Structures are given as C-alpha cells and as structure tokens.
C-alpha cells in the first residue's frame, strides 16, 4: 500500500521527538554537573521538565500516543534521575548510599522482563505509586542542586529536597513490590501452552 508523501512515520511525531531530545540532553546534563556548570545544568533540567510535561500533554491532545512514546517517556525520566543522582554523588552533593539504593531498585526489576516475555507479555503499565516516586525524585534532585547554587536559600530548600528524596525512594521501592505482584498475577492468569 503506497504511503502518502506528506505523512510522517508514526514514531516521528512531536511528542516522541521531545522525548528523544530529552534523552539526547542527558549526557550533556551529566557533564555540566560534574564540570561544575550548575547554572546550565539547572537550565537543562528546567527545559527537560517543560518538555516532559509537553510530550504527554501534546500526545493526549493531538491523539498521538504511541507504544514508542510510552517507552521513551519513563526511560527519559529514569535517565534523568540516574544522571542527576550520579552527578550529585560524583561531586559530593549527596551520599553514595542514595545512588546505590535507587540503582538496586532498578536491578531488582530486571528479572521481570524475561518472566513476562516467556508468557508473551511486554513491560506492564507503570503503577501510580511508581509515577509518584518518580515525581518526588524528579523534584528532589534539582532542589538539591539548587540548594548548592543558591546558598542563601539552602536552609529552606535542602530539607524540602531531602523530604522529596526520602518519599521518592520509599514510593519507588513500594511500587517495585507492587510491580512484582502484578507480574505474578499476570503470569498466573496467562493461558498455559500445551
């Protein structure tokens, strides 16, 4: 069936392009943190936050939701969480244990992929608590960075940043437990192949 000359591939819509752009900026952002260009790093984080909102909003508004977009958006969020956390750990703004606790949560979820694939399933939808944990962490880390840049307000910003970080870690791990429960429920209800 011939394709229309003015039609673009489904994956190349504006919401997905914004997600790709966010992902491409992750290494730039990490370099800015470790090379102590914190103002620019905060600027990229602000830009990424705006595009994070826009890609979801536009996808829903223009009915351009795609499977690729559903994978790219959380991938970009996770990459920013890890880039920020790694950068803040490397420059000594946060203790290393925080990095390892969050990384361990991601590693714990890796075995769910082959379990689901063996039954013909892809990744399950992200649970609300996982989104809430991501939201908290995406606020915590920029606030930690802002507390270092704006020393005069760090007395207010730093406790707020750590509150978001602790809630984020708790919700992140809780959502991992719930994700495993979902995985086993899906596997149990899958028809057996004989």
The pLDDT of 44-55, averaged and rounded, is 83
- How far is 38 from 117, CA to CA, in rounded Å? 41
Query: What are the tens digits of pLDDT across the range 76-112?
Result: 888 888 888 899 899 988 899 999 999 999 899 889 8
Q: Which residues contact 56 (CB under 8 A, 6 or more apart)?
A: 15, 73
The pTM for the full model equals 0.76
Question: Residue 177: pLDDT above 90?
Answer: yes
Q: How confident is the model at residue 166 (pLDDT cuts 50, 70, 90)?
A: very high
The pLDDT mean for the chain works out to: 84
Q: What pLDDT does residue 156 have?
A: 93
């Amino acid at each position: 069936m011939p394709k229309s000359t003015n039609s673009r591939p489904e994956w190349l819509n504006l919401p997905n392009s914004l997600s790709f752009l966010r992902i491409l900026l992750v290494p730039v952002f990490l370099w800015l943190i470790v090379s102590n260009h914190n103002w620019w790093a905060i600027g990229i984080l602000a830009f990424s936050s705006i595009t994070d909102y826009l890609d979801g909003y536009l996808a829903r508004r223009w009915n351009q939701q795609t499977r690729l977009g559903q994978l790219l958006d959380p991938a970009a969020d996770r990459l920013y969480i890890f880039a920020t956390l790694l950068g803040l750990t490397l420059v000594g703004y946060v203790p290393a244990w925080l990095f390892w606790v969050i990384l361990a949560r991601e590693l714990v979820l890796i075995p769910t992929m082959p379990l689901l694939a063996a039954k013909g399933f892809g990744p399950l939808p992200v649970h609300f608590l996982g989104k809430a944990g991501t939201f908290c962490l995406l606020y915590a880390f920029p606030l930690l960075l802002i507390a270092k840049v704006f020393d005069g307000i760090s007395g207010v910003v730093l406790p707020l940043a750590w509150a978001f970080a602790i809630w984020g870690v708790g919700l992140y791990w809780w959502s991992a437990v719930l994700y495993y429960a979902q995985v086993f429920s899906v596997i149990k209800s899958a028809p057996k192949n004989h």
